[in-house]
Structure formats: structure tokens, C-alpha cells
Amino acid sequence: VSLNSIRHFKENDNDEAQLAKCLGQLWSHGIEPDWSAYHTGERRKRISLPTYSFEPIAYPTEVNPLEQLSVLTTASKKTITAENLQDCIYYPIWKQAIPPVITGNKIKPTYLFFSLDDEFASSLKSEFKKQDHEVIEVVLGSVFKSHHQGKIEIDPLIPLHFEQLMDILRGNQVKITHLIYAWAAKKNLPDLKLDLNDIGINLAYFSLINIFKKLAFHHQLTGLSISILTDSLHRIAGDEKIPYAQSLLLGLMNVFPQEHEVICHNIDVDFRERPSEFAIDVANEIHADREVSNRIVALRKGQRWIPDFSLHTGPLAENTTSIKTGGIYLITGGLGNVGFVLAKFLIQKYDAKVVLTGRKKMQDQSADERSFLRLKLLQEISKDVYYYDADVSDLHSFRKTIEKVEKNIGLIAGVLHTAGTLDQQYFEFAEDITAEKTFAIFGAKVLGIENIHKIFKNRNPDFVWITSSLASVLGGLKFSAYAAANLYVNFFISSVIGKLPDWKCVSLAELSFDGVPDINRPDHPALNPEQLARLFEWSLSVKKQPLLLETVVDLYSRLDKAYAEKEQAFSTETMKEMEMLDREHFNHAYVPAGTETEIRILNIFKHFFFKENIGIRDNFFELGGDSLRAMALIKKIKTEFEINLPLKDFFTLQNIEELAAEIEERCWINKRSDKKNISII
């Protein structure tokens, strides 16, 4: 076990707290510190263990080995070393599945169908109408127009049209049960531009967000089923074109149900087949009982396919690498965490010439202290380290930079695309998504991979290695745009692998840099720099597999936690009976709610825990709350009070009294800011 007993120089933690934390981690690994020496000169007394720990850490005293084995399996939490790095590598695969189970609907379905007004739309509507289901069809147009027989024409570039659509639905007292979105399956979808006036980015992303926002505003999301229809997005037969722009919608599909009480799934069809033949299968998928494994379904020639993942088997072979000693390698985002680690690796092991690019100028330390110091460190190791301030999302300037590199340094042997935006200020809840913050995330990923392809597809470097994120599979709270951007990269690489077999994408999970763990997940296992470099080196030798996924924690456990458990956390469970809370373990008296805000929050707590006598000073976690319910609580508070409560603030406001005080203060500030006449001192 290797641990830090002193804090990193950039951390603000108390030194004594860091030492205590280190000792605790040693103890959790079975190493017994000399507590007497640690507490010299002090009188200690025993205290009870906490009734709830935010991370699921057990403190066993009498251990049943069989029970422990079932809980702490090697698959769910592993110690990764150079010898067993293969245990955290997965490949996406597809497997055939039986038709879905169809159950009778408790209420008559009403479909809001964003259709392309084509043969498939007509066939699907016919299937619904055979069951006497109501269909409201929304088609593309240049004006807002309500036609007869439930057809409405709107212009997706005009946000007002979405509000007018909602007005019609509300005016007719229509309660939507199913939303079907097929606009992105449009043939010859134009190349995307990061511009709200671009039809491509609207059909592939923002139109679904716009209708989602309207439904959220009018409180019509609870229980909604959202079906996203795509055309040949997934490679099943091997001859699909993979129109990767559609993949942006899968980012929304992953995150919507994590933030709201909705069900989302993707149904991928091949429109080269006759729509009349697969329309009934699509209808059945929309009606089906939805399970986690069936969130994505591909229909091909009457067969049903669902995605799966295959864990790498066997050791990571020491194959001949495509990295050349003394080669010239371009690294976008080269002073970020991943770029810096791999640049250092290439220099030290392969004596490589490294060209780093980034958006910031590096003339002096005032530009960016961390990046400046990293650049200086690399240049101390090797004289062949070059930095160019170039934005990979700007095709013109990036092309000029590449031409300069080739003229001044030489031909580029390989490209590592590690650039990306991880600044939390750009991460938003789905109903708050803005174009400005979305485009900030999309720039390096969506435009970045497009531009690298345009510049290097005919230059034939030995490899192009791209980092993606496991968020493309797992989603995450406020991760709509980030997940979508990484999915775009994944599918882009899958689409070009036939012509460019040496292009590779690796979806990375948690990484630990400089020995400092993620402050949000300090006990979460992660790859260290040495393991990351080994993964990079080995992955280049894997042929005919464009996408690899890395996660130290078992991927299936993470998928279950990301989707199945979150669905349970948001579940209202209205049939469950209220019980009286057993207050024996609380060390404080019951205090009832006094203010209106406290009463409203108390009502939320009661429906979380189904307990009648919760007090305003009862700790959320001691009541049985956990990380998933904490996220659900944030959503409930946002809906109830129109207040965005950051997750990090929630951990310091752990009871109703503290939450109410914070919410009342924020509401007061918001009201003050709404006033037009404000005295500025």
C-alpha cells in the first residue's frame, strides 16, 4: 500500500487531518498503527461507530468469511497492478435477445411523436391506432401550423414553437405518456455546427432538450417514457454507415432518467429495410417493460439485439508497439492530466519529440501556474518538447499549427487527442442546459475529433489515439453535454475504423494523478499514471477494436448503480405505508417543523423515508439516506423551491433545519435580485 501522509502542496487540508486520514486508510488495509504512540499524552475513550457512512464502508468485528466474500468480490473492487491491468478493460459487444414482454397498459397511452412524416411514421402510427391509442404527430416545417387529425408542424429553430405546442396540449388537456423522437434519424443530416441556428445540431440535440424543458416546466415528466429512434447508429451487421451525429441523443438518454422520474431508451433500426416490416417491432419496444439491459435495442432483419460488454481475458501481451523511438508525437491538451502523463512517458521510454497544444499561451508563469510548471518539467527532461497555443476546435488555426510543426520539426508519427473541458461550471441539469455551456464542452470533443480527422486522414500517422470518458456509458448528474460529447467521439471512431484501422478510442474512468485521490471519491479505486501509460502503450497493439473501456470497479456493478438504483431512488413508491420512526438511536430530542419552508422540506423527507415523526434536526444520512437519495433530494428541492442546491453544499446541510435556513436565504436573495431598483454601494 502506498499512501500520502502529508498533503499535496495544492490542497488546503489540515496537516493533522491528512495524517489521521492516512492512518485510517492503513488500518482499513489491515495494517495496525501504534495508536498508543499516536495518542501519547492524551486520554482516549471509546465511541460508537457512525450509524451511517456516506461511502459503503463496513467495520466488521466478527466476520463471516463467506458473507464477506459475497460482499467484497474481486470483480466489484480490485487492486490494479501492472500484472492484472487487463481486469479493468472491456470491449463493447452485441448479443441477440428474445422479444420484449408486453403488458397491458393501466392507462390509455398518448404519444407525442416527433416524426419525419415518412413511410415509417405512417406505419408506426397505424400500429398505435390499431390499439385505439392517441397519437399527436409533430413534423418539421417553416411555420407553426396545427393540422387536422393530430398533426402539428413546427420549425425547430424557433423556440416559441415549442411553447405553442405545449399550449395546444394543455388547452386540450392532453397528458403525454410516451414521447417518441425520430427527428435525428433524418437522411443526410447536415454536418453539425456549434450554432443554435444550425438545423443539424438542433435535430441531433437541442430540439429534444427544448421539448424536455417545456415538459419539465409544466410538470409533465413524471412517469414519462422517452423513446429515441435512430437509423443504423449501432454496428450490428457490419455494413451500417453509423451516422454518428445521432449519438449526441444517447447522452440525453443516459442522463434524463438519472435526474428525473422518466424512462428513456434508444431503438435503432435500419431504414434500408422496409418500414412496414419493422414498425410493429418498434411499437412493441415502445410498449415493452423496460429493463436496464434493454435501454438500447437494435432491430435488424427481424432480429433483436442488445448491447453488452466483454471483459478482456488473458494478460496484456508485450506486442510490438507502433510507437517509434525518437518519433514526433502530437498531444492535444498536452498539459492536462492525461496529456502530461503520456508526454512524460513518451519522452522517458521512447526518447520521443513531443509537440503539445493547448488553448493557453505559455510565455510566463502567470498564464497558468500548473501548466507552466508542467511544461518546464518536461523541457528539463528533454530539449525536444515544443508547445503551441492552438485550439483544436478551430480548424483553420489548428491546420496552420500542424503545418508549422511539419515544417519546423518534422512529420508527425502519431496523434494523442486528450483535450477536453472538465470545468464544473459548464455542467448543467438537463432542464437548465444552455447553448453557451454545451458548446464549451462540445468544442474539444465534437469539433476536435472532426478537425483531427480532416487534417490527418490523408497524412497516415502510425496511430491516432483518443481519450473518451466512461461517462459515455454511465452518464451522471449534470453530465448531459459531457456524456454526449464523449459518445460522439466513440461513434465517430467506430464510423471510420474501416478506412482508418489505426485510430483508437479509450473510454477512461477515474484516474489518480500526483498521488492525490479524487476529493469527491477518496476511496474509489483508480488508475495511476504508470498504469495509464501501460494501458496506452498496450491499446495501440489491439487491432480491429476501435473502442476500449477502462474501469477498475466492475462495469456491471456501475451500470446497475447508474441506472437501476437511481430509478429506485427517484421512485415515489406511493403504495408504501408510512411508519413511525424509531428514535432510540438519536442523541437529540424530536423538534417539529415550525416554518412553512421546514414543513415543505419535511414533506419531501417523509416521502423519502416513509416515516411520520421525522424532526427538523434529524440527520439525512442517519435516517437512511444515501448518495442516490441525496441527488434525488436535490432534484425535489429544485422542483419545490426553484433553487439550485450544489451537491457539495448538501453535505454540510444535513437536516431539515439547516436546509430550510439555506433555502430561505437563497429565495430572499433571488427576490432581491429580481427587483429593478437596487441601490449599489
pLDDT at 535: 94
- Please state, in angstroms and rounded to a whole number, the distance separating the CA atoms of residues 535 and 504: 12
Superfamily of domain 575-674: ACP-like (1.10.1200.10)
Read off the pLDDT of each residue in 179-204 and give the average, rounded to a whole number.
94
Q: pLDDT of 242-289, one tens digit each?
A: 999 999 999 999 999 988 889 999 999 999 999 888 999 999 999 886
Q: Where in the chain is the domain with CATH 3.40.50.720?
A: 102-311, 328-560
Q: What is the mean pLDDT of residues 144-169?
A: 94
Among 592, 515, 508, 516, smallest CA distance to 548 is for 508
**pTM exceeds cut of 0.85:** no
Instruction: Could you please state the CATH topology (level 3) that the domain comprising 328-560 is classified under.
Output: Rossmann fold (3.40.50)
Buried b (16+ CB within 10 A) or exposed e, 63-100: eeeeeeeeeeeeeeebebeeeebbbbbbebeeeeeeeb
C-alpha grid cell for residue 532? 495509464
Q: Which residues pair with 649 in a beta bridge?
A: none
Higher pLDDT, 566 or 85: 85
Place of cell 419545490: 640
Q: What is the pLDDT of residue 519?
A: 40
Per-residue pLDDT, 409: 97
Confidence at 126, pLDDT banded by 50, 70, 90 = very high
What per-residue confidence (pLDDT) applies to 13? Answer: 60
> With the CA atoms of 650, 652, 654 and 658 taken in that order, what torsion angle do they form, in degrees rounded to the nearest 10?
-100
What is the pLDDT, as a whole number, of residue 677? 41
Q: What is the pLDDT of residue 10?
A: 43
> Measuring CA to CA, how many Å separate 330 from each of 356, 357, 358, 379, 382?
6, 8, 11, 15, 15
Q: Is the pLDDT of residue 51 over 50?
A: no
C-alpha cell of residue 316: 496484456
Residues of the chain with CATH 1.10.1200.10: 575-674
Q: Does the pLDDT of residue 508 top 70, yes or no?
A: yes
pLDDT at residue 90 above 80? yes
The pLDDT, as a whole number, for residue 569 is 60
Q: Which of 234, 269, 263 is nearest to 123 (CA)?
A: 269
Percent of the chain with pLDDT over 90: 57
Residue 7 has pLDDT above 80, yes or no: no
pLDDT attached to residue 648: 61
Closest CA to 251 of 285, 205, 212, 294: 205
What is the average per-residue pLDDT within 162-168? 96
**Res 343 pLDDT > 70:** yes
Choose among 185, 634, 228, 662: nearest CA to 431.
634
**Band of residue 81 on the pLDDT scale cut at 50, 70, 90:** low
Residue 357 · residue 389 · CB < 8 Å: yes
pLDDT of residue 167: 95
Look-up of cell digits 498531444: 331
Whether the pLDDT of residue 4 is over 70: the answer is no
Position 314 scores a pLDDT of 79
What per-residue confidence (pLDDT) applies to 580? 83
Q: What is the dihedral of CA 567, 573, 579, 583, to 10 degrees?
A: 20
The string of DSSP codes covering 237-289 is SS-----GGGGHHHHHHHHHHHHSS-EEEEEEE-TTS-HHHHHHHHHHHHHBP
**Banded pLDDT at 14 (limits 50, 70, 90):** confident
Tell me which of 357-371, 403-417, 457-471 is least confident: 357-371
Q: How far apart are CA 153 and CA 165, in angstroms?
A: 9
Query: For 464-510, where are the alpha helices, taking DSSP H only?
Result: 471-474, 480-496
Residue 104: the pLDDT is 67
Whole-number pLDDT of residue 561: 84
pLDDT of residue 318: 72
pLDDT digits (tens, 9 = 90+) for 484-498: 999 999 999 999 999
For residue 399, count other CB atoms closer than 10 A to its CB: 14
Q: How far is CA 539 from the centre of its chain?
A: 23
Cα–Cα distance for residue pair 524/116, rounded to 1 Å: 45
Task: Write down the pLDDT at residue 514.
Answer: 62
Candidate from 56-60, 114-118, 548-552, 637-641 with smallest mean pLDDT? 56-60
pLDDT at residue number 244: 97
Q: What is the pLDDT of residue 293?
A: 57
Which of 55-64, 81-90, 421-430 has the weakest average pLDDT? 55-64
Q: In this model, does residue 130 exceed pLDDT 80?
A: yes
Which is more confident, 639 or 517?
639
How much of the chain exceeds pLDDT 70, in percent? 84
Residue 17 confidence (pLDDT): 77
Give the mean pLDDT of 114-124: 96
Q: pLDDT value at position 63?
A: 39
Over range 301-321, report the average pLDDT.
Answer: 87
Q: How many CB atoms lie within 10 A of CB 453?
A: 16
Question: Which helix (H) or strand (E) covers residue 536, if one does?
Answer: helix 529-539
Indicate the pLDDT class of residue 676, thresholds 50, 70 and 90: very low
pLDDT greater than 90 at residue 674? no
Taking 70 as the threshold, does the pLDDT of residue 565 lie above it?
no
Domain 102-311 part of CATH 3.40.50.720 = yes
The span from the CA of 231 to the CA of 209, in Å, is 20
Q: How confident is the model at residue 112 (pLDDT cuts 50, 70, 90)?
A: very high
Residue with cell 445521432: 246
Asked if residues 455 and 397 have their Cβ atoms less than 8 Å apart, the reply is no
Average pLDDT over residues 500-519: 80
Instruction: Enumerate residues 6+ apart whose C-beta is below 8 A from 365.
Output: 372, 373
Confidence of residue 66 (pLDDT cuts 50, 70, 90): very low
Out of 290-304, 452-466, 525-539, give the one with best mean pLDDT. Answer: 452-466
Q: Which residues contact 658 (CB under 8 A, 6 or more apart)?
A: 652
Q: Is the pLDDT of residue 68 over 50?
A: no
Q: Is the alpha carbon torsion for 668, 669, 674, 676 positive or negative?
A: positive
User: How far is Cα 540 from Cα 542, in angstroms, rounded to an integer?
Assistant: 6
Point out the least confidently predicted range of 220-229, 411-420, 425-434, 622-631: 622-631
* Reported confidence tier of residue 570, pLDDT bands at 50, 70, 90: low
**CA distance to 145, 440, 475, 491, per residue, from 484 (Å):** 32, 13, 9, 11
Q: What is the mean pLDDT of the chain?
A: 85
Q: Tell me: pLDDT of 454 over 90.
A: yes
